[in-house]
Amino acid sequence: MSLRLAVLGSGSGSNCQSIFNAIDDGRLDAEVVIVLSDHADAYILERARQRGVRAEVMDCGGFKNKFPLECQESVAALLKELKVDMVCLAGFMRLVKEPLLRAFPNRILNIHPALLPAFPGVEAWKQALEAGAETTGCTVHYVDAGMDTGEIIMQSHVPVMPDDTAQSLHARIQVQEHILYPAAILSAVARL
């Protein structure tokens, strides 16, 4: 039976697209049943609509960064109703807490643009450059109540070049993210 996925994102949805691509080319036996965003104008919603996937905006009560518990409870209830097996965060910029974590224990994954535990939080590629790192990369990990602190599933290394800018480094990391995320989902499924 095909894995039922929900994707939560805040931006363009390029990692969501990598999941769609892995499904299309047979690398991932799954179906994305819903895409949710905290921004009505996020392109991730358009990517979902173009595929005929249900796409909705979460009501975060007007908070810019907070993920209110009431919103998490309603999202958890919706995903349970849709019989979602796994939740994939793809550029989702809010901390997930107990209502969702309790509803989907060890079934929420996140992709982060650094080799965790180094450079958690926002704009990790800029943090790597500013720290003078020689290598960085991306990590898929289980989500826990902390910021980018969950158990690591898989990582991919990306060298930092002497002439890298934040944009060039981020672009190379994203190439690896798009390969890594579907593979890490498969790895996580094998542990279910």
Q: Which token pair is 129?
A: 């450059």
Residue 136 has pLDDT above 80, yes or no: yes
pLDDT tens-place string over residues 5-59: 999 999 999 999 999 999 999 999 999 999 999 999 999 999 999 999 999 999 8
pLDDT at 1 exceeding the cut of 70:
no
Could you tell me the two tokens for 179? Answer: 């390969």
112 noted as active-site residue: yes
Mean pLDDT score of the chain, rounded to an integer?
95
Whichever domain contains 128, its CATH number is 3.40.50.170
* Residue 35 to residue 5: CA distance in whole angstroms: 9
- Report CA-CA distances (Å) from 72 to 58, 146, 152, 172: 9, 16, 23, 33
Provide the total of helices (H) and of strands (E) in the chain, helices listed first.
6, 7
Domain count, the chain: 1
Note down the domain range covering 138: 3-190
* Contacts (Cβ under 8 Å, ≥6 apart) of 6: 32, 33, 34, 35, 36, 79, 82, 84, 86, 87, 88
Which of 64-68, 110-114, 120-124 shows the lowest per-residue confidence on average (mean pLDDT)?
64-68
Q: Which of 112, 141, 170, 178 is catalytic?
A: 112
pLDDT of residue 68: 82
Average pLDDT, integer, range 93-106: 94
